[in-house]
Structure 1
Amino acid sequence: MSLRTSDRKHRIRRATTALRASLEARRPNRAATAPAAPPTPAVLTAPSDLDSSSADRRLEEQLASQASELGSQHPDTLATRKAVALRLANSGRIGAAVKQYEQLHVDQVRSLGSDHPETLATRSALAFWRGNMGDVGSAIAAYEQLRRDQIRVLGASHPHTRRTRGNLAESRAESGDIAGAVAEYEELLDELRDDLGPEHPHTSMTRINLAHWRAALG
């Protein structure tokens, strides 16, 4: 490998590390027991069209460099593709984002495996954004399967598993299955009380959600 090529790869990896930190700070932060409100452009998009276009261009250039230098299946390239999908979704281009996530999931299964944490995270994102588009039935089915796989891979008490259960409960409620949502929240609340305590923020949030949907039942 030439020194020039080595330097390019080093720059790409360094840029990817910065991108991942930025992505973690900008991703929709959902409590372990329920989804947050849909992302709003005022919070999650760039401050101006000019800045947004510049950021999009830099992201596209980084992705092209990574695909060329590292390969399309390299973990760093996959991470940038995930960032592209998230940026599309946060800017309101949810349909395009879902397509990106779908292809990303296919490639993650091929290169990382179906049980890899990043692959499971992409499935969670797909369920969220499909539900955000109004396809709540698809979101529910995706969350149900994801919950089963997370229990198998991560365990029932893992925070990601519990987040999925909260998101599933909320999706049931959005679909009109209030009783199903209440049952899901009741089971989750009992476990959170036992494991985290009655005053933990996740326990408190679940209690609030449960009270809300119990009241909706009449």
Structure 2
Amino acid sequence: KKEKWREMWIYSSLILATLLAFSAPFEDSGLLASVPVAITATLYAVHAFRKKNVWLGFPANGFYLMAYFMILLRYHVDQPQFFTLAAAVLGMLMHYLLVRSGSKKAAFITGMLSQLILLSTTYIQLVSEGIFLYFVILFFQALAVLIYGVISRSRSLVITPIAFLVLSVVTVTFSLLEGFSSLLLIGCAGVLLIAFGIGALLLREKFITLRDKLDDWDA
């Protein structure tokens, strides 16, 4: 009976803390609104450590991120891509630990969320402000994720940064060619697609070899 009551108190406290954390953004108390969110994250982290439950670590990280972004919003930060770096590093560290522990699904989710938080924030800044500096920042961020993905032999951490690099290059190219006519842009895009198709056919065997190698990697 004591164990049942103990479990009930534990989960009741987590539910209550979760409700308080979700209500915190609606409070008009400045930076203090992030305190209950951070406490909730700490509760989840403690229970995850005590129970050795990987999945309880996800709400802990989520609430830590929530508190982190609440603080950024209170300070009216207009360059969020520099501040998402800490969150991404924390996520990559958790990804590494999850890979070492053998939790592949949890590692995949953590890795995807971490790199999406990092790369998508910078890409949104690139699109919204159109400053070339954001492309340079995105390039080095994607390169860092790509290097880590190769070292950790993770397909998602290799494909996603490459996709963001291609997307950012296309975005910058179209912004530079904004003054050209639409017909010329369509023609150039068609020529590039044809060239890409021919190259894919010529390098088909190499792509097959690369695919076989990537099949041995983790997600």
Please, what TM-score do these two structures have when normalized by structure 2? Answer: 0.45
Structure number with the bigger relative contact order (C-alpha 8 A, sep ≥ 6) is 1
Structure with a larger share of its residues in helix: 2
